[in-house]
Structure 1
Amino acid sequence: MKVDLWSGALIDTAIWHARSGDIAREFRYRAVHVALPLAALEAGKLPLRLDRPGLWRLRRSDYGWRDGRLPSNFIADQLRSAGLEHCAITLVTMPRGLLHGFNPVSFWLARDDAGLRAVLAEVSNTFGERHCYLCHHADGRIIVPTDRMVAQKLFHVSPFLPRDGHYLFRFDAGPGRFGAWIDWIGENGETGLQTSMTGRARALTGPALWRAALRRPVQSLVASGLIHWQALKLALRGARYRSKPEQLDRTRSQTRDEGERDA
């Protein structure tokens, strides 16, 4: 039987980044993410619990408003503008490790009985800033794996890419798997960066979580280190470095369907 992300899951993910244009380069790495149904998480019914010690940890202050309030309050507020605040929520994220915590992107999946209605992509950079992209259809229809949604890029992530252009989002929420594809399209209309995070889902049990944490106790540190290592390689190959601009006051934006005009 395929594991449903809304029942809780471990996801053995393959992460891929491919840069094109002036300096073409790609890299891959593997990690284990968790899919955490929010109601069960906040009720303490999952093997991984909020603000508890362990090889892998999950802190309220790492998500949402980052002030210790419950994640459910944050995501309900984000979904209210789309009329989806009553959806069931599953958080797909990389837990904080024993010594370090860094999550390039976490995905808040919102669904009802019909299917996936929205995905909030909470993107973080290495400067401690974050921006949320709310992905959904304006007419409220369910999101299927072939759907493509577009949002203006408003957040500085890489010093080797400008803060302009658009992101193209695509999602597959299973059952039995998770996939997220985010491509950056420059102002010239060409795809300059492609990224994906895909993997099979397996049951989230106490023993399985413990084994995964033992195998990858510092995976968030590895992810952060790989990002900096790839940045160094780009710099050595002569990629243009862009200083970090001041973060915009607007820290949440919404997508439109591919082919629609910007609002």
Structure 2
Amino acid sequence: MVTGEAAPAAALYECLVVHTRTAPLRHDVRHRTYLWCVDLDRPPALPRVLRPLARFDARDHFAGRAPTIRAGLEEFLASRDIDIAGGRVVMLAHARVLGFVFNPLSVYWCHDASGALVCVVAEVHNTYGQRHCYLLHPDAGGGARAEKRFYVSPFFPVEGHYRMRLPLPGERLDLT
């Protein structure tokens, strides 16, 4: 496993997104995509001409009003009495491409100044342009559970919970 300090400053992960509905009828959806994994303090520097093709915009995350994604994250953490003291934050998310973004889930691994993982934030977006953040404290295997507090799908009620596996990013990343 890669420690918080050893994770790359930027990586592009090819992904297979799988969604399975078991009731009232079983239905599976699978599609390929990619996700960026970036250090919020060292985002990839693309030439000016390529920036419309892939960029990260603070308005796509948290309340959408902070000047940077990191500032939005720190506001969220501060509202829960968490201070990562300038530690490293690694974000996994879709980039805004040609002015558009579809980003159902952004994940933030938040480390303190010594490099220790303090928490993980899972930011869920729905198709109505709303978002909700879950503050997680994964176990040693990267597992976490959160009560569902946000309407995501017209097919599912808000009741229930999420079971997540959020290991630190490395050469490979397998989130559930």
* Residue pairs, 1:99-118, within 5 angstroms: 100-112=100-112, 113=114, 115-118=116-119
Change in 2 beyond 3 A, CA 1:100/1:70: closer
The structure with the largest helix share of the pair is: 1
Match of residue 177, structure 1, among 128, 147, 172: 172
Distance in 1 between residues matched to 2:8 and 2:83, nearest whole Å: 17
Per the alignment, residue 84 of structure 2 pairs with 85
Distance in 1 between residues matched to 2:110 and 2:147, nearest whole Å: 22
Q: Which residue identity is paired with 2:153?
A: S
- Structure 1 unmatched runs, 5+: 138-142, 182-263
- Figure out how many residues of one structure are paired with residues of the other and give that number: 167
Distance in 1 between residues matched to 2:91 and 2:15, nearest whole Å: 15
Change in 2 beyond 3 A, CA 1:116/1:15: farther
Task: Kindly indicate whether residue 140 of structure 2 is the aligned counterpart of residue 151 of structure 1.
Answer: no
Given that residues 84 and 111 in structure 2 are in contact (C-alpha distance below 8 angstroms), is that contact kept between their aligned partners in structure 1?
no
Distance in 2 between residues matched to 1:53 and 1:122, nearest whole Å: 24
Instruction: Give the secondary-structure state (helix, strand or coil) at the position aligned to 1:110.
Output: strand
Question: What whole-Å deviation, never above 9, does each CA across 1:114-145 have from its counterpart, x for those lacking one?
Answer: 543321111111101110011115xxxxx43x
Distance in 1 between residues matched to 2:62 and 2:8, nearest whole Å: 20
Distance in 1 between residues matched to 2:46 and 2:22, nearest whole Å: 38
Match of residue 20, structure 1, among 22, 41, 53: 22
Distance in 2 between residues matched to 1:66 and 1:16, nearest whole Å: 28
Match of residue 69, structure 1, among 67, 71, 77: 67
Given that residues 36 and 91 in structure 1 are in contact (C-alpha distance below 8 angstroms), is that contact kept between their aligned partners in structure 2?
yes
Aligned-pair identity in percent equals: 28
Q: Which residue identity is paired with 1:125?
A: N
Distance in 2 between residues matched to 1:76 and 1:162, nearest whole Å: 30
Give the CA deviation at 1:99: 5.1
Q: Which residue identity is paired with 1:15?
A: V
Q: Which residue identity is paired with 2:40?
A: L
Give the CA deviation at 1:95: 0.7
Change in 2 beyond 3 A, CA 1:116/1:180: farther
Point out the structure with max Rg over C-alpha: 1
Q: Which residue identity is paired with 2:84?
A: E
Per the alignment, residue 130 of structure 2 pairs with 129
Given that residues 142 and 168 in structure 2 are in contact (C-alpha distance below 8 angstroms), is that contact kept between their aligned partners in structure 1?
no
Task: Kindly indicate whether residue 80 of structure 2 is the aligned counterpart of residue 96 of structure 1.
Answer: no
Q: Which residue identity is paired with 1:101?
A: V
Change in 2 beyond 3 A, CA 1:31/1:85: same
Distance in 2 between residues matched to 1:102 and 1:57, nearest whole Å: 13
Given that residues 75 and 85 in structure 1 are in contact (C-alpha distance below 8 angstroms), is that contact kept between their aligned partners in structure 2?
no
Q: Which residue identity is paired with 1:92?
A: L
Instruction: Give the secondary-structure state (helix, strand or coil) at the position aligned to 2:53.
Output: coil
Distance in 2 between residues matched to 1:9 and 1:147, nearest whole Å: 20
Given that residues 148 and 168 in structure 1 are in contact (C-alpha distance below 8 angstroms), is that contact kept between their aligned partners in structure 2?
yes
Normalised to the residue count of structure 1, the TM-score between the two structures is 0.57
Change in 2 beyond 3 A, CA 1:19/1:111: same
* Residue pairs, 1:158-237, within 5 angstroms: 158-181=153-176
